[in-house]
Amino acid sequence: MQNKNVTYTINGQTLHYKVEAEKIKFGNYENIFLSDDNHIQDADWFAEGYKVDQFLDEVDYIKFETFIRDLFVSHLKTITPVDLSDFTLDRYHTYVNDDTHRKFLTSVTAGSKARGGIPLASLPFSYRKIDERVSEICKCSLSSKNLFTQSFWLRVVRPGVEKDNNPPHKDGYLRRNRKMVNLYVGIAGSNEKSSLPFVPHSHLINEKYIERTYGKALVNGVKFTNPAVTGLLNKSIEMFTPNPKKNEVLVFTPYMIHGGGRNLNVDVTRVSLEMRFKKAPFIGKLVGFYR
């Protein structure tokens, strides 16, 4: 096993993590984003690799927020006797301990090979509304429902807990995560201190300039499936947060270096929606529900 202490910045603030992996090395001469069907070829944000835009109409977003809050309460009632009558998402960390938190995550987050999560059919409106919105932004017919995925996921990052977040990485390093588009929506506690960070234009960097882990890896002592980015050739890892506001969606290519963000808020939990989109199993004119 090889070891490395990694230093990177988010919005100018220095952070660290320790990685242990079978191998840590620079990649081959290739660009997996440009060689794959990346789904944003016709988008006006191709060079940036991400786009922040409106998510839902106001009525549907209120339904969505209420649905998520009620979902948290229903799951927490099964694992904790704590009074939840005044529960709010941003105060989640005050209602759980580490053990309760782990139990809760098994019901709302992705497990092995992105399985698990929450059924798309449970949303308070048709998931196709989200599909249409993302398709409009990407200028490509996309769907969140396919042979492999019938769910969406929630990420819950408590304040001051390093193990609640991932290190900088590319989802596209795993073959099952290629030819997709990712979505991030901050539902609660998502701000400049906790939102999802990116290395700008990193989807366009050749892999020979990116150092990463290969094989089994531990990040701060926790097993991590996706290869972690540990360095850039002759350059520091400098990340920033696009920081979408309430009822805004952040759509991005999984070939960008992202993650590594910690919740640096003192007393606020970050809750965010995560979805992945593949080519829709049909070809037709996009019908936008904002038109």
pLDDT per residue over 111-160, tens digit each? 545 556 889 999 999 999 999 999 999 999 999 997 677 889 999 999 98
How many other CB atoms sit within 10 Å of the CB of residue 238? Answer: 14
- pLDDT value of residue 117: 80
- pLDDT value of residue 290: 36
- pLDDT value of residue 287: 44
Domain 23-210+242-279 in CATH 2.60.120.620? The answer is: yes
Sign, Cα dihedral of 127, 130, 135, 136: positive
Whether the Cβ atoms of residue 249 and residue 175 lie closer than 8 Å to each other = no
Tokens of 214: 């290969």
Instruction: Provide mean pLDDT across the span 64-87.
Output: 95
Higher pLDDT, 235 or 281: 235
Q: 87, exposed or middle or buried, with CB in 10 Å at 0-12, 13-18, 19+? A: middle
Q: Quick one: what percent of the chain has pLDDT higher than 90?
A: 78
**Given pLDDT bands bounded at 50, 70 and 90, which one contains residue 221?**
confident
Poorest-pLDDT segment among 73-82, 239-248, 282-291:
282-291
* Res. 18: pLDDT tops 50: yes
Q: Quick one: what percent of the chain has pLDDT higher than 70?
A: 92
User: Which residue do the tokens 């020979």 mark?
Assistant: 208
Q: What contacts 132, CB < 8 A, 6 or more positions away?
A: 286, 287, 288, 289
Query: Phi and psi at residue 272, in whole multiples of 5°?
Result: -140, 150
Whether the Cβ atoms of residue 258 and residue 109 lie closer than 8 Å to each other = no
Our CA dihedral for 154, 57, 128, 47, rounded to 10 degrees, sits at -70
CA distances 18 to 7, 260, 284, Å, are: 9, 12, 48
β-pair partners for 274: 153, 184
pLDDT per residue over 251-272, tens digit each? 999 999 999 888 989 999 999 9
Domain ranges of the chain: 23-210+242-279
